Amino acid sequence: MNSLLKNIYTKEDLISLKQEISEIQKMIFSQSGLLSEKAKNVATKELLEFILSAEGKGEIYFNPNEQFEFLENLKRKLDSLPVLKMVLAFSPPPATIERISQFLENELGRKIILDLTCNPEIIGGAILEYEGKYINLSLAKNLEKILKTNE
């Protein structure tokens, strides 16, 4: 699964992957054969490699119902990935998103999906929500405190 998630950083990336899986599921019952053959014109390189690997391990068979269920289980696993909601004052470029994702994975020891929102009103910093915990590290909040103490 790690190779499949290698380039998945954001909630949007995850949604795109799940849509790709759904497109493959639509073709399962209209064609016979290996799932990898059915997916080769629709799947990204990472998803196709994941499917080929599962076929090589004997996890997927010719039966269309089993192929469909394999993909359903994959979508359920994707839905269970932890999500960190992050509000930033700007829309970060892809390289920044990748660095944030890799930092979080290293610190927390597991893949974290970023649900990013841009809100210029926070001025800088970030507002984070993860596993029921909320922390406001925004510059706007700190400026507000400073201005109140100087009144």
- Annotate 85-127 with DSSP letters as a single string: EEEESS---HHHHHHHHHHHHHHHSS--EEEEEE-GGG-SSEE
Copy the structure tokens of residue 126. 């970030």
pLDDT over 80 (residue 124)? yes
pLDDT of residue 19: 97
Q: Indicate the pTM of the whole model.
A: 0.87
Domain residue ranges in the chain: 2-79, 83-149
pLDDT tens for residues 16-26?
999 999 999 99
- 71 and 24 Cβ atoms separated by less than 8 Å: yes
Q: Does position 151 have pLDDT exceeding 70, yes or no?
A: no
